[in-house]
Amino acid sequence: MGSQGVSACVWLLCAVLVADGKNVLLIIGDDAGFESDVYNNTAIQTPHLRELAKRSLIFKNAFTSVSSCSPSRGAILTGLPQHQNGIYGLHQDVHHFNSFDDVRSLPLLLSQAGIRTGIIGKKHVGPETVYPFDFAYTEENSSVLQVGRNITRIKLLVRKFLQSKDQRPFFLYVAFHDPHRCGHSQPQYGPFCEKFGNGEPGMGRIPDWTPQYYTPEQVQVPYFIPDTPSARADLAAQYTTIGRMDQGIGLVLDELRSAGHDNDTLVIFSSDNGIPFPNGRTNLYWSGRAEPLLISSPGQPRCRGEVSQSFASLLDITPTILDWFSIPYPDYKVFGKSVTLTGKSLLPALEAEQPWTTVYGSQSHHEITMYYPMRSVQHMQYLLIHNLNFKMPFPIDQDFYVSPTFQDLLNRTISGRPTNWFKTLHSYYLRDRWELYDRSKDPSEVKNIAGDPGYHDLFLTMQEMLRKWQWETSDPWICAPDGVLEEKLDPPCRPLHNEL
Q: Specify the length of the chain in residues.
A: 500
The answer to whether residues 218 and 173 touch, using CB atoms and an 8 Å cutoff, is: no
Residue 374: phi and psi, rounded to 5, are -140, 150
Pairing label, strands 23-29, 434-438: unpaired
Q: Measure Cα distances from 391 to 54, 284, 385, 467 in Å.
A: 47, 17, 15, 21
Cα distances (angstroms) measured from residue 294 to each of 79, 404, 415, 497: 18, 31, 44, 48
Helix (H) / strand (E) element for 346: namely: none
Q: Is 2 exposed, middle or buried (0-12, 13-18, 19+ CB in 10 A)?
A: buried
Q: Is 488 exposed, middle or buried (0-12, 13-18, 19+ CB in 10 A)?
A: exposed
Pairing of strands 493-495, 483-485: antiparallel
Closest CA to 215 of 228, 234, 193: 234
Residues recognised as catalytic: 69
Rounded to whole angstroms, how far apart are CA atoms 382 and 442? 10
Q: What is the CA radius of gyration of the chain?
A: 22
Query: For residues 350 and 306, is the Cβ–Cβ distance under 8 A?
Result: no
Q: Are 110 and 173 in contact (CB under 8 A)?
A: no
Output the CA torsion 155→161→164→166 (10° steps).
-150
Residue 127, preceding peptide bond in cis (omega within 30° of 0): yes
Q: What is the dihedral of CA 440, 446, 450, 454, to 10 degrees?
A: -50
Beta strand segments in 307-415, E: 307-313, 333-334, 337-338, 358-363, 374-379, 382-387
How far is Cα 176 from Cα 186, in angstroms, rounded to an integer? 17
Q: What is the Cα–Cα distance from 9 to 313, expressed in whole angstroms? A: 23
Report how far apart the first and last C-alpha atoms of the chain are (Å, whole number): 50
d(CA 138, CA 175): 9
